[in-house]
């Protein structure tokens, strides 16, 4: 019997390390999602080669070719829709999306952000966490809404902040956690286990009713 997998289009702007993590997970025969295309706004994004090496179609829609965000997002949407995605996955896609684009993919577009949202939206999150003196930092997978780095939270991973951390060392530990929770969130979506409840997300089959923070010492998330 042919298994129909959730069709994912991944949007990137850079090296694609989270794309690589998802592709690695998707290599397992029981993984319920497949990356059907990778789209970038940068022609030199390193992650495009990862897709090519995996035999996945790629497309580049340079944002410099368009006069404004509205025109760009309309062109991007046209390209993304040619691949008929069930889920759009933002993996280091460094663009602020228009409300129209977000509405088109409502409840079927997710993002990963390098902080424990709602703390430290935007850029330079690791240095800002250090400057704020927080004891824990981390990353968040969430559904995308029109408000930047907001939207119902699916899952988070937390790491301790060490006394000798700088932005690079802290960021490296956070990135390692990103590579764990993003493929898991995609799996949950593909399995139909995610149910939005206000600003949270109930994950069907988990003991906790809403998404929890996962620490490195407590890796078992199913």
pLDDT at 44: 97
Q: 152 and 130, same structural domain? A: yes
Q: What's the sign of the alpha-carbon dihedral 79, 83, 84, 89?
A: negative
Out of 77, 105, 133, a domain closes at 105
pLDDT at 197: 86
Domain count, the chain: 2
**157, 177 Cβ separation under 8 angstroms:** yes
pLDDT at 1: 58
Q: What's the sign of the alpha-carbon dihedral 73, 79, 82, 85?
A: negative
CA distance 89 to 93: 9
Task: Return the closest-CA partner of residue 108 out of 5, 23, 7, 3.
Answer: 7
C-alpha angle 206/208/211, rounded to 5°? Answer: 85
Task: Return the closest-CA partner of residue 36 out of 79, 73, 72, 2.
Answer: 79
Q: Is 168 a known active-site residue?
A: no
* Per-residue pLDDT reduced to its tens digit, 30-80: 999 999 999 999 999 999 999 999 999 999 999 999 999 999 999 999 999
pLDDT at 210: 47
Q: 52 and 79, same structural domain? A: yes
- The CATH number of residue 53's host domain is 3.40.50.170
pLDDT at 221: 53
* Per-residue pLDDT reduced to its tens digit, 104-157: 999 999 999 999 999 999 999 999 999 999 999 999 999 999 999 999 999 999
- Is the predicted pLDDT of residue 92 greater than 90, yes or no? yes
Tokens representing residue 209 in the block = 């009713």
pLDDT at 205: 87
Of 112-116, 159-163, 208-212, the least confident: 208-212
pLDDT at 207: 65
Q: 137 and 64, same structural domain? A: no
pLDDT at 206: 78
Predicted model pTM: 0.93
Catalytic residue among 113, 137, 142, 179: 113
What is the chain's mean pLDDT, rounded?
94
- Is the predicted pLDDT of residue 219 greater than 80, yes or no? no
What contacts 40, CB < 8 A, 6 or more positions away? 11, 12, 13, 47, 48, 58, 59, 60, 61, 93
Q: 118 and 101, same structural domain? A: no
Q: 92 and 122, same structural domain? A: no
Out of 57, 82, 105, a domain closes at 105
Rg (CA), the chain: 17
* Per-residue pLDDT reduced to its tens digit, 174-200: 999 999 999 999 999 999 999 998 888
Q: 67 and 135, same structural domain? A: no
- Is the predicted pLDDT of residue 208 greater than 90, yes or no? no
CA distance 183 to 8: 11
């Amino acid at each position: 019997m042919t298994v129909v997998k959730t069709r994912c289009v991944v949007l990137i702007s850079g090296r694609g390390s989270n794309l690589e993590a998802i592709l690695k997970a998707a290599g397992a025969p029981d993984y319920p999602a497949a990356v059907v295309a990778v789209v970038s706004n940068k022609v030199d994004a390193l992650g495009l080669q990862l897709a090519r090496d995996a035999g996945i179609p790629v497309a580049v829609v340079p944002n410099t070719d368009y006069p404004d965000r509205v025109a760009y997002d309309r062109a991007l949407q046209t390209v993304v829709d040619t691949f008929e995605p069930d889920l759009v996955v933002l993996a280091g896609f460094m663009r602020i999306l228009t409300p129209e684009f977000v509405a088109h993919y409502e409840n079927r577009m997710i993002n990963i952000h390098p902080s424990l949202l709602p703390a430290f939206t935007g850029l330079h999150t690791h240095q800002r966490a250090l400057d704020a003196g927080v004891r824990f930092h981390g990353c968040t997978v969430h559904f995308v809404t029109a408000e930047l780095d907001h939207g119902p939270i699916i899952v988070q991973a937390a790491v301790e902040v060490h006394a000798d951390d700088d932005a690079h060392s802290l960021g490296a530990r956070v990135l390692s956690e990103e590579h764990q929770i993003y493929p898991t969130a995609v799996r949950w979506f593909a399995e139909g286990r995610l149910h939005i409840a206000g600003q949270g997300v109930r994950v069907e089959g988990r003991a906790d009713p809403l998404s929890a923070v996962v620490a490195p010492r407590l890796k078992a998330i199913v």
